[in-house]
Amino acid sequence: MTENRSDQIARGRPGEDPGPAPAPPDLRRIGANPDFWYPVALSRSVRKEGVAAAVFAGERIALYRAKSGAVHALEDRCAHRQVPLSMGVVDGETLRCCYHAWAYRGDGRISQIPYLAKGDARPPRGVRAYPVREAYGLVFVFPGDPEKAEATPLPDVPAHASPSYRTMTFSRTVRCHYSFLHENLLDMNHQFLHRGVVGKLQPKLLGYESGPASVEARYLFTHTGGKRNRSASLLAAEGLGGQPSSDVMTIRTEYPYQTLDLVPEKADHPALRLWAVYVPEDAEQRVCHAYGLLMIEKPRIPAALSVAWPFIRHFTERVFAEDRMAVEAEQRAWDEQGEDRNHEVFSLILDVRDVLRANGVPLAPRTTPVTRSCEGLAP
């Protein structure tokens, strides 16, 4: 467990006198570190010779799939008149702006301006291109320093390719800072929120470990009465054939990704594995896009999973809708209060806050026109 936590004062432990330590920066003003691979679209949403608009932390990105099938990611503006390239048209391996038909290659360079004549001004060279990769049915881009892209591995999601598991993919906009979602999943004491869907669950923290870029918590889940959703039972039991019982849930933030493994009582491997990441959409990072891969172990009778599949999706969507309601309420409170007034008491959550702070990047001050006009008026 890390000991150099920066928010000792805020925690207010009796008897402690940490001295005049500076207040840690507001977690909700810490941006996601761009030097990682982040999904920005489902692969299937970028169709052959098709175009899609994506975004990372306010940077608009035009994705297009060339005739060859390769996906490219360009800054989403034509260098000419700033019209989004995601409104454009694929032409072979290039992307043409819809307005005056300027053509761009996958590396962002302009390959043709159809009408340029002698005497016209020198055209710009092109726009930024992002390193891009496809994996797990997702399109990943590397929004940070492109020189680091090659050496930075894609996240490892081993169960995705395993024949023992089947994957359900989630893609949803959530109107909150990504950190609220890390805290939500790691703090299983919020089962009260899901009482209507999963019944009365008694999570017990078995232990946790924190590192410079990770926090991992293990909980024992026991169903203690009340209604229990059938899909929850399906998910919690050994494969899909067992009886409700005590399960061990391991949740891990490994910056910037998050995983959850659920091992049923008598099993030696997970019946359910979740991989998730929360990708900021806007420059202020008050909205994120949650991508999730939920991998469920196939039961002995494979058809059972096909039958259960829509129910599992429905159940998972309901739980996620409740989580979203809570974290979006947290964001609205932050927006109104203008700062993070959370008064956290749970040690491992304090740790994950430190991890997110230490591995993220400070957000630039607002640079919207409103702010700029204020600047202009200041003496």
Closest to 363 in 3D by CA, of 211, 185, 177: 177
d(CA 31, CA 359) in angstroms, rounded, equals: 9
* 4 touching a second copy, by CB under 8 A: no
Residues 120, 153, 224, 303: which binds a second copy (CB under 8 A)?
Answer: 120
Three-state SS for 324? helix
* 334 touching a second copy, by CB under 8 A: yes
Residues 17, 19, 122, 153: which binds a second copy (CB under 8 A)?
Answer: 122
* 282 touching a second copy, by CB under 8 A: no
Largest Cα separation within the chain, whole Å, is: 81
* 200 touching a second copy, by CB under 8 A: no
* 193 touching a second copy, by CB under 8 A: yes
Token digits of residue 11 = 């925690």
* 100 touching a second copy, by CB under 8 A: yes
Piece in contact with a second copy (CB under 8 A), picked from 142-150, 241-249, 352-360, 364-372: 364-372
Residues 20, 22, 69, 119: which binds a second copy (CB under 8 A)?
Answer: 119
What are 323-329's contacts with CB under 8 Å, separation 24+?
323/181, 323/184, 323/185, 323/190, 323/193, 324/172, 324/174, 326/184, 326/190, 326/193, 327/174, 327/176, 327/180, 327/181, 327/184, 328/174, 328/175, 328/176
Site string for a second copy, 12-31 (x = CB under 8 A): xxx-----------------
Piece in contact with a second copy (CB under 8 A), picked from 65-73, 188-196, 246-254, 312-320: 188-196
Piece in contact with a second copy (CB under 8 A), picked from 17-25, 128-136, 229-237, 335-343: 335-343
d(CA 327, CA 173) in angstroms, rounded, equals: 12
Q: CB of residue 353 vs a second copy: minimum separation in angstroms?
A: 12
* 343 touching a second copy, by CB under 8 A: yes
* 90 touching a second copy, by CB under 8 A: no
**Cβ neighbour number for residue 21 with a 10 Å cutoff:** 10
CA count, 13 A, side-chain hemisphere, 312? 23
d(CA 273, CA 297) in angstroms, rounded, equals: 8
| Residue among 201 and 262 whose Cβ is closer to a second copy | 201
| Residue among 93 and 328 whose Cβ is closer to a second copy | 328
* 329 touching a second copy, by CB under 8 A: yes
**Size of the chain in residues:** 379
- As a whole number of Å, the end-to-end CA separation of the chain is 49
| Residue among 133 and 175 whose Cβ is closer to a second copy | 175
Residues 128, 133, 175, 190: which binds a second copy (CB under 8 A)?
Answer: 190
d(CA 272, CA 159) in angstroms, rounded, equals: 10
> Phi-psi region for residue 280, left (φ > 0), alpha (ψ -120 to 50) or beta?
beta
Name the DSSP letter for residue 8: H
Closest to 297 in 3D by CA, of 157, 166, 169: 166
Residues 124, 207, 212, 302: which binds a second copy (CB under 8 A)?
Answer: 124
| Residue among 113 and 267 whose Cβ is closer to a second copy | 113
Q: CB of residue 126 vs a second copy: minimum separation in angstroms?
A: 11
Piece in contact with a second copy (CB under 8 A), picked from 72-80, 164-172, 301-309, 353-361: 72-80
Residues 45, 68, 82, 243: which binds a second copy (CB under 8 A)?
Answer: 82
Positions that interact with a second copy (CB under 8 A): 11-14, 77, 79-84, 87, 96, 98-101, 113-117, 119-124, 187, 189-190, 192-193, 203, 205, 325-326, 329-330, 333-335, 337-338, 341-347, 350, 365-379
